[in-house]
Amino acid sequence: MQFTKMHGAGNDYVYVDGFREQLPADLAQLARRISHRRFGVGGDGLILILPSDQADARMRMFNADGSEGEMCGNGIRCVAKYVYDHGIARKSELRIETKAGVLSLSVTTAGGLVDKVRVNMGPPILAAERIPTTLPGVPVVDAVLDVAGRSFRVTSVSMGNPHCVIFVEQATDELVLGCGPKIEVDPHFPARVNVEFVEVLGPAEVRQRTWERGSGETWACGTGASAVCVAGVLTGRTARRIVNHLRGGDLELHWDEADNHVYMTGPATEVFSGDWPD
């Protein structure tokens, strides 16, 4: 089975073209094996690029632990690049189907290949029961969350998948690697949750580290960066347009007041292709 390794700002996945390849029945097992950084190709998970009856292509994404996620902001940019570069749909405006709905993407090319993608992430979901979370508030802004003997002020947002945004003075390993996995499985988040630890550098600039549900710390999280943009506005910490510095690179975010949609712009990179022996 042919695969392609791609990343968006360091958030790396193994991609399989379901238009051309025959997929195994047990996709969760494939995700766990192919994503393993010592015994597989290595990545934050597996993303399948599939035919769609309502869009140019359909994306299914699996975390490194085999669980299936609703959406991946960095992953969908790479899907758009693959769809364009490999001739599935060579259009500057693409529509990609996900478990969180059909999203619109605009591609920018250099030398005939996509190097940057702008994604209309849609409106943020702020109703607690739809995120889902049992934390109080409408919306859930700076709610108190006690985890592992510590008390956090958290803001919860869904961008098609659940996020818990925590603004901190410094996003340390103790917070990200120590508290992140405990918050992920906290009972206040019945579907588990992605956790963002965010340093505010100014009204238009933040730095983010992410503990991603099912994958551990990732070098970037597009839906998480979008959630941070929303949370920054809701808490009065940032403006509606920000640059978010992630471990793997920068993303540009805009929560548009006119249509209530979040727009994310960032890179998409193809690294290499190969043959998976199964």
Active site residues: 72, 221
Q: Which two tokens stand for residue 278?
A: 């199964």
Instruction: Sort strands 249-255 and 262-267 into parallel, antiparallel or unpaired.
Output: antiparallel
Q: CB-based contacts of 92: which residues, under 8 Å, 6+ apart? A: 106, 107, 109
Residue 3's nearest CA partner among 21, 24, 19, 27 is 21
d(CA 3, CA 11): 17
d(CA 55, CA 90): 13
Q: Which residues of 119-145 are buried (b: 16+ CB within 10 A; e: fewer)?
A: bbbbebbbebeebbbebeeebbbbbeb
Element (H, E) at 34: helix 27-35
Residue with tokens 């592992």: 148
Element (H, E) at 16: strand 11-17
